[in-house]
């Protein structure tokens, strides 16, 4: 039985991840009791009649629910607007091309008639990357779901070519049948697609072992209004700039990625994730730094700060034996308040996994960590794609939550975490609201790591005010990130949310290089015009 995507919320209908009583108690303590609950399903927006679109040699849906389902991504303001019927614009139609040729035809027709085009993969952008915003020009969504599946497999070279609309589970199923894996497991894995991964520079939870999507893309095809760019699969090249890296991160602004040739690997026999507790964040960071620079071949490393550690226990471990152990340990040690949860895991044949985890344990013990064993890791593995559902249950009750992330060299990790967390925590002081902030360090590299923040506040009485609270937090965080010289995004992209700060990261000349490429590839400026290069702050739209 095929699962149906939920409109106006994360994931599939019927799925949920209800907040535990412990989490709710913690939230009430941190931000106060909720005051305004939200409708739990998408409310019908005011009727917006579809405007005429160019004729295409394949069907274009103008079904109201289809249009609503393709109006917004999955950031908090998107959910709030969808649930309250306050969506300011809908696409005028949704086209589902089944080939690169059909994409080309659609782009030509839309270029001719000045119709905006938003390429659509899994629709999971949390940075306003696929949002419809009001415009005089009509808008067509190109949903790539029919451009899916394994198109070619070169087993000896470890290269698999997939249609851009292939979602995570279908991709891994096709590879599993051949004894292979891509190893790309972003939290959005069940919904997001190859094309979306490529154009947002996605990074999966096991990136320490398998690399980011950039490391996996050997070749790709981009269809733009100005023509096609086919970059053949190559292990490496010194033949000029690497144009794959211009397409990767282009967020639908330079063209539509129609397929990608990805580096795949033999499927590991087993994956195991363990947990440890370290006495404080400083020691945890030292342990992670040593694990990564020392070359212990882990695929996952994730260190929660003290606040996230408490919440992780309240959310994920509530029902497990491990939680009992952890609480006992916390009682035992007086410094428990500052303790940090460290997850670390690897993949391979069972013996390799045992050896590698053994190495990791000895590093962690050297940093005075206490090994908790596999139970917390098993919970994390089981629930890791379900965590986004938690947000839906919290919104039902009147707690708003969203996430943002950055990355920075090791020397700046601790300081950036502190400054960004403080900026978010105090963002709503002006209106007397509190914000709770959690953070974890993950995706470590030899030269730095990412910082992933989750923040919570109470929803306001109406959608616009709730979105305004969110925007205030987001602006405070992004300003602080940019001032710290950290990146606007480690794996969520620029979208429309970060676009006003894009120049702060790459400079005016850097922005102009990308804008010039966009003018060349899309002379009519029809492609996803609000993302990446749009200088206007559209957080509240």
For residues 207-266, which are near a second copy according to CB under 8 A?
Answer: 212, 214, 218, 224, 226-251, 263, 265-266
Closest CB to a second copy among residues 30, 265: 265
Q: Is the C-alpha dihedral spanning 377, 379, 384, 387 positive or negative? A: negative
Quote the strand ranges of 130-179, DSSP E.
139-143, 150-154, 159-163
Interaction residues for a second copy, span 111-130 (CB under 8 A)? none
Q: Are strands 93-95 and 139-143 parallel, antiparallel or unpaired?
A: parallel
Taking the complex as a whole, the smallest distance from the CB of residue 319 to a second copy amounts, in Å, to 34
Using an 8 Å Cβ cutoff, are 410 and 445 in contact?
A: no
**For a second copy, which residue of 131, 489, 496, 528 counts as binding (CB under 8 A)?**
489
Minimum CB separation of residue 359 from a second copy in Å reads 12
Is 488 a residue that touches a second copy (CB under 8 A)?
A: yes
Decide: is 156 part of the binding site for a second copy (CB under 8 A).
Answer: yes
Interface with a second copy (CB under 8 A), residue from 132, 188, 200, 299: 200
Say whether 178 sits in a helix, a strand or coil. coil
- Kindly indicate which of the ranges 1-9, 389-397, 407-415, 456-464 contains the residues binding a second copy, using the contact rule CB under 8 A: 407-415
Q: Toward a second copy, which CB reaches closer, 159 or 371?
A: 159
418 lines the binding site for a second copy (CB under 8 A): no
Calpha distance 458→395 (Å, rounded): 9
CB 430 within 8 A of CB 410: no
Subset of residues 493 to 532 that bind a second copy, contact rule: CB under 8 A: 493-494, 498, 502, 505-510, 512-514, 516-517, 520-521, 532
Cβ at position 452, least distance to a second copy in Å: 12
The two structure tokens encoding residue 373: 């064993």
The set of residues, in sequence order, having a beta carbon less than 8 Å from that of 305 and lying 6+ positions away, is 281, 340, 417, 421, 438, 439, 440, 441
Which segment (74-82, 154-162, 360-368, 427-435) binds a second copy by CB under 8 A?
154-162
> How many residues touch a second copy (CB under 8 A)?
83
Query: Which lies closer to a second copy via its Cβ, residue 55 or residue 235?
Result: 235
| C-beta closer to a second copy: residue 20 or 187 | 187
Helix axes 76-84, 387-397, angle to 10 degrees: 50
Binders of a second copy among residues 420 to 479 (CB under 8 A) are: 443, 445-450
Taking the C-alpha atoms of residue 84 and residue 477, their distance in angstroms, rounded to an integer, is: 26
Phi first, then psi, for residue 249 (nearest 5°) are: 95, 0
Residue 257 to residue 499: CA distance in whole angstroms: 21
In angstroms, the CA 453 to CA 403 distance is 5
Q: Is residue 270 a contact residue for a second copy (CB under 8 A)?
A: no
């Amino acid at each position: 039985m095929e699962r149906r995507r939920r409109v106006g919320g994360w994931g599939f209908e019927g799925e949920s991840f209800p907040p535990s009583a412990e989490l709710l108690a913690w939230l009430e303590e941190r931000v106060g009791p909720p005051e305004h609950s939200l409708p739990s399903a998408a409310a019908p927006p005011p009727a917006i009649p579809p405007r005429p679109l160019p004729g295409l040699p394949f069907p274009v849906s103008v079904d109201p629910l289809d249009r609503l389902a393709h109006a917004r991504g999955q950031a908090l303001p998107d959910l709030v607007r969808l649930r309250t019927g306050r969506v300011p614009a809908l696409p005028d139609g949704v086209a589902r091309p089944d080939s690169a040729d059909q994409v080309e035809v659609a782009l030509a027709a839309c270029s001719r008639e000045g119709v905006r085009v938003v390429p659509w993969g899994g629709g999971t952008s949390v940075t306003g990357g696929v949002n419809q915003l009001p415009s005089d020009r009509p808008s067509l969504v190109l949903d790539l779901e029919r451009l899916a599946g394994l198109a070619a497999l070169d087993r000896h070279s470890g290269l698999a070519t997939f249609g851009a609309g292939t979602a995570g589970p279908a991709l891994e199923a096709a590879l599993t049948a051949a004894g292979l894996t891509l190893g790309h497991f972003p939290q959005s894995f069940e919904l997001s697609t190859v094309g979306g991964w490529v154009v947002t520079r996605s990074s999966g939870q096991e990136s320490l072992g398998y690399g980011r999507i950039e490391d996996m893309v050997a070749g790709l095809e981009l269809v733009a209004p100005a023509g096609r760019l086919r970059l053949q699969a190559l292990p490496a090249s010194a033949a000029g700039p690497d144009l794959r890296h211009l397409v990767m991160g282009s967020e639908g602004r330079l063209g539509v990625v129609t397929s990608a040739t990805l580096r795949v690997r033999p499927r590991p026999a087993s994956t195991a994730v363990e947990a440890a507790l370290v006495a404080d964040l400083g020691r945890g960071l030292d342990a992670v730094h040593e694990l990564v620079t020392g070359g212990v071949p882990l695929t996952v490393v994730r260190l929660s700060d003290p606040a996230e550690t408490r919440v992780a226990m309240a959310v994920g471990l509530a029902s497990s034996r491990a939680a009992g152990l952890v609480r006992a340990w916390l009682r035992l040690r007086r410094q428990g308040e500052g303790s940090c949860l460290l997850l670390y895991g690897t993949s391979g044949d069972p013996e390799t996994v045992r050896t590698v985890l053994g190495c990791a344990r000895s590093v962690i013990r050297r940093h005075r960590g206490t090994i908790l064993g596999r139970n917390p890791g098993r919970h994390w593995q089981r629930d890791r794609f379900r965590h986004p559902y938690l947000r839906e249950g919290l919104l039902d009750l009147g707690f708003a939550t969203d996430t943002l992330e950055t990355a920075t060299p090791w020397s700046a990790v601790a300081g950036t975490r502190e400054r960004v967390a403080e900026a978010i925590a105090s963002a709503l002081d002006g209106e007397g609201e509190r914000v709770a902030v959690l953070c974890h360090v993950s995706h470590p590299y030899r030269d730095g790591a990412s910082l992933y923040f989750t923040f919570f506040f109470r929803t306001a009485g109406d959608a616009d005010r709730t979105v305004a609270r969110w925007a205030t937090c987001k602006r405070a965080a992004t300003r602080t990130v940019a001032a710290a010289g950290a990146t606007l995004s480690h794996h969520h992209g620029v979208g429309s949310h970060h676009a006003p700060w894009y120049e702060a990261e790459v400079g005016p000349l850097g922005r102009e290089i990308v804008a010039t490429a966009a003018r060349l590839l899309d002379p009519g400026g029809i492609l996803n015009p609000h993302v990446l290069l749009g200088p206007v702050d559209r957080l509240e739209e």
